[in-house]
Amino acid sequence: MRVLPTMTTPRCGILITAAALCGFAFAQTGLTTIQDTLFKADGTRFNGTLTIRWNTFDSANIGTIVQQSRSVSVVNGNLQVSLAPNAAASAPANVYTVHYQSDGAHQFTETWTVPSSAQALTVSSVRTGTLSGSGQTTTDNQTPIVESAVVGLVADLGQRPTKGPGFGTGSVAFINQDGQVETVVGSVGDCVFVDGTAGPCGGPSPAFFDAEIPGGLVDGTNKTFTLANPPSGSSLTLFRNGLHMKAGFDYTVTDSTVQFTPTLPAPQPGDTLVASYRVDPLAGNIGNLQLGETQGHSVAMAQVLCSASGRGTSALSWTSLGACDIPASALHPGDRIEVRFNFTHTGTASAFDLQMNWGTATILARHGGKQDSAFAGQAEAAIGQNGVQVTVQSWGTVLTFLPGIVSVPGQSGIKVDLLGRLSTATSDSLTLANYTVLRYPGF
């Protein structure tokens, strides 16, 4: 048996030298190899195709890598692919998008970020995120994207308000002259003004002039009358013999002068004119009168006793749709109680009835037709020494305007009750949309 020791050592040296030369040649390519064995959840090896896509980016080891894709077959779980390192590329092009297909269907998608490496890497070491079904990436180690890399983001962020030097929490915010958000400084209970300052709430309340008789001769010829003060806005309500006059159609008002239109006959001897209006003290138009006084008499400021939306009914029996209990302390001689209400009628199959009670007395009763879709009215109760005189008026979309005066005995506390019912059992409904009860205290 012949032994040739001189041949063994040189062959080994040749193999080692060749491997070193191969490693040197591999490093010179600038590519990183991803080599791994892929499995399914049941332990069997994955067979399929990986489609790898990328956007154009610059690789330090190679140069410009243009946008493209490639497919890699995975047989019996064996994956091997060489890719240009993209870990140092600028966002958002610093990922490979890898689509896994097998069994004739797309399975899932993930992203890879490949660093420079002379050693082969596994998939887990380059995986940076998994794309969900909605296309959004979920990841714990994805490279952050700088704001400047997103087109228009920095400019858009510059349009939003930023924190100013006076920014704080737990209070009202306002925008300062530089467009920054600051916090209003003040005490609990203060009011915030439009300039961002705070201070005590409150101010002069509007002055209400109720049941004023305009100045001027009622002789059948004169059409010009004057009020104690110029009304604020369109607040003037003018009545002639209990009939409501319409502004612009029956009369015009300029400052404190009321002028009846040429087409309307002048008030005749015995006619009664009554005006109610309000005056805004901040407008400075109360003239020489002190706030709260008119022609030597105190002006009553309205107190809201009740104000709410009522209920609805489809019943054939009388049903209370809204009520207000007025105590005896609010019914002194000289006081005035005002009630305003609005009803709605839904449907056209049934007529309806409405009723308003002042304590035990019925002061209003109307029958509405099928076509009446709305009904409104108001009542003013003047509390006297020996009883109450109530002026009422009501109208509907079809119902004509109807005024009236009712006298009722004085009562120690009363209930204003608004009732309604349908005339026929149908799907129609009658609803008290809103009602308000005001008190003007006497002096």
Tens of pLDDT, residue by residue over 421-430, are: 999 999 999 9
pLDDT bin (cut points 50, 70, 90) of residue 29 is: low
* Location of each CATH 2.60.120 domain in the chain: 303-440
Average pLDDT over residues 286-306: 52
Q: Which amino acid is at 64?
A: T
For 211, the token pair is 């049941």
Q: Is it the case that residue 399 has pLDDT exceeding 70?
A: yes
Q: Is it the case that residue 282 has pLDDT exceeding 70?
A: no
Mean pLDDT is lowest, of 67-81, 202-216, 367-381, 411-425, for 202-216
Q: How far apart are CA 256 and CA 227, in angstroms?
A: 5
Write the pLDDT tens digit of every residue in 167-176: 877 778 888 8
The phi and psi torsions of 20 (rounded to 5 degrees) equal -65, -40
Give the pLDDT of residue 283.
59
- Report the phi/psi class of residue 255: left, alpha or beta, with left for phi > 0 and alpha for psi in -120 to 50: left
Q: How far apart are CA 174 and CA 372, in angstroms?
A: 49
pLDDT bin (cut points 50, 70, 90) of residue 24 is: very low
Average pLDDT over residues 22-48: 80
Write the pLDDT tens digit of every residue in 183-193: 887 777 778 88
For 383, the token pair is 């509390």
Give the pLDDT of residue 168.
76
Q: Is it the case that residue 76 has pLDDT exceeding 90?
A: yes
Between 150 and 428, whose confidence is greater?
A: 428
Q: 337-359 burial, b for 16+ CB within 10 Å, e for fewer?
A: bbbebbbbbeeeebbbbbbbbbb
For 249, the token pair is 């159609």
Between 26 and 146, whose confidence is greater?
A: 146
Q: Is it the case that residue 287 has pLDDT exceeding 90?
A: no
Query: What is the widest separation between alpha-carbon atoms in the chain?
Result: 157
Give the pLDDT of residue 312.
94
* Cα angle, residue 431 at apex, residues 425 and 437 outer, rounded to 5°: 140
Does residue 114 contact residue 127 with C-beta atoms inside 8 Å? no
Give the pLDDT of residue 330.
74
Q: How far apart are CA 264 and CA 46, in angstroms?
A: 98
Q: Is it the case that residue 7 has pLDDT exceeding 50?
A: no
Mean pLDDT is lowest, of 46-50, 65-69, 90-94, 345-349, for 90-94
Give the pLDDT of residue 1.
43
Give the pLDDT of residue 2.
47
Q: How far is CA 157 from CA 150, 161, 205, 304, in A?
A: 11, 9, 45, 49
For 161, the token pair is 């308000």
Q: Is it the case that residue 228 has pLDDT exceeding 80?
A: yes
Give the pLDDT of residue 301.
55
Q: Is it the case that residue 413 has pLDDT exceeding 90?
A: no
* Location of each CATH 2.60.40 domain in the chain: 17-138
Q: Is it the case that residue 414 has pLDDT exceeding 60?
A: yes
DSSP state of 348: S
Average pLDDT over residues 36-58: 93
Average pLDDT over residues 361-373: 93
Q: Is it the case that residue 361 has pLDDT exceeding 80?
A: yes
Mean pLDDT is lowest, of 169-178, 236-245, 374-383, 389-398, for 169-178
Average pLDDT over residues 327-346: 88
Report the top-level CATH class of 17-138. mainly beta
Q: Is it the case that residue 237 has pLDDT exceeding 70?
A: yes
**Which CATH architecture fits 303-440?**
Sandwich (2.60)
